[in-house]
Structure 1
Amino acid sequence: MGFKVNHYAAKTIKRTHTVDWELISIELIVGVICCVLAVVGYKASMLLVFIPAALIASLCLMGIVYSFYFCIKERQAKRKQS
């Protein structure tokens, strides 16, 4: 018994960086929640709560900064080309 696989040829698309506001808002919410958990874990001297929460919070917040950085760089590149 064989499987039928539909294969479509690769299409060329213009690669641009778009800021997905839903993704940024979700990352911000998760980052804030993990930041609060990290603070609570630090105050309670619970390293098993503090370390993972602080790591996730920092990664989420760095992801937001990364998205905004490339959005700004893309706008500057567009202005140079115009």
Structure 2
Amino acid sequence: ATELRESMMAVTRQLRRHRPDNGLTLSQMQLLGEISRAGVTTPAELGVRLHVRVQSLTDSLNELVARALIVRRPDETDRRRQLV
């Protein structure tokens, strides 16, 4: 377990060193990649795909909307749902 944790930390350091200087966090880049793969989707579906709670995605989604990198809109068939 210790060896795996150390390996993951080393990978994370490498990703941080080589990421584009766009001001996005690794989590935001991962979220953008998943949205790109999924197409139009819901935050709940993204949470399932990324194995995180929807509440954990809220800040990142808000930041991506604020940067105009994604669009959030109501689902036309179910106005309670949001699509990204």
TM-score by length of 1: 0.27
1 or 2, which has the higher helix percentage?
1
RCO higher in structure (CA 8 A, sep ≥6): 1
